[in-house]
Chain A
Amino acid sequence: MSDRPGVVLRREPARGCLNLRGNPRDAGFRNAVAAVTGVELPVESCTWGPAGDAAVYWLGPDEWLLVLPAGREADVERRLREALAGSFSVVDTSGTHCFLNLSGPARGYVLQKSSPYDFHPRNFPAGRCVQTVFAKASALVAANPDGSFDLVVRRSYADYVRDWIADAEEEYGFARG
């Protein structure tokens, strides 16, 4: 085993999360979200986009996860409710999610051991995000421009997922960020 860690797992600080639902074919809905958040909703399936210090992930054909710096979610939620009309939903899910970042040369092997999804860069380039089976739990996995992966897991599964990754990465050498 080399002394350079093959995998680095970092637990990210808590963030503000809003689950947003609405009709992506309604330009009024998309424009109102963009005006409030500065974020263009990704309408292509399984994609995500950063927007300054925020990020928005495609979760379904009419559902997104909006991730904001902690503390901003209540204000953004209130402004979204003011700006949106018709059929929509905004739910603060900040307490639900735990954010992990997986980097290092062996990061792909650890993901491959944990999920049936093909995380090879040819199938999963930067800008893609998938919700899939991870270990025996589920996770939202996003490919970052720097090659690392962000994992969004349910808080109640976070310890389990970290233990799973610790076991999976043991053969590659690992570090905690």
Chain B
Amino acid sequence: MLRIRCPYCEEARSEEEFAYAGEAHIRRPEDPEALSDREWGEYLHFRTNARGPHREMWVHAAGCRRYFNVLRDTVSYEILDVYPIGKAPSDDSTGNGA
């Protein structure tokens, strides 16, 4: 069971209160009409599936109901960073930073 620090409630809470919300920093293409089917399919369905540090979104579903970003190691499950939506990641070592 993870203990996740919600950046809005400003305390660590049990994983039970949260829901996973997929990979973070996926930017919707400015002009979807201009994309090929392959590019659109990659935007919709393809994810980095990182082994190691991974930037992802969680929602504090039973708490403040806000989405936020988490940098989590997918091997050790260690949470390395937590930061609000709209904030750029502190580095892009994961390959899925903005």
Contact = CB atoms under 8 A, between A and B. Distances in A.
Contact of A116 (B10, B11, B17, B64): B17
A131 B63 contact: yes
A112 interface: no
B44 interface: no
Interface residues of B, number: 13
Interface in B1-51: 8-11, 13-14, 16-17
A32 interface: no
Contacts of B65: 60
B8 A131 contact: no
Contacts of A131: 62-64
Interface residues on A, range: 10 to 19
Given A45-B8, A45-B10, A46-B10, A133 B62 contact: yes
Given A46-B11, A61-B64, A132-B13, 11 more contacts: A45-B8, A46-B9, A46-B10, A60-B64, A60-B66, A116-B14, A116-B17, A132-B17, A132-B62, A133-B16, A138-B62
A130 interface: yes
A133 B61 CA distance: 9
Contacts, number: 37
Contacts of B14: 116-117, 133
Question: Chain B's interface: helix, strand, loop or mixed, by majority?
Answer: loop
Given A131-B62, A131-B63, A133-B62, A60 B17 contact: no
Contacts of B66: 60-61
A59 interface: yes
25 contacts: A45-B10, A45-B11, A45-B64, A46-B9, A46-B10, A59-B64, A60-B64, A60-B66, A61-B64, A61-B66, A116-B13, A116-B16, A117-B13, A117-B14, A130-B9, A130-B63, A131-B62, A131-B63, A131-B64, A132-B13, A132-B62, A132-B63, A133-B16, A133-B17, A138-B62
A109 B82 CA distance: 31
Nearest to B64: A60
A61 B16 CA distance: 21
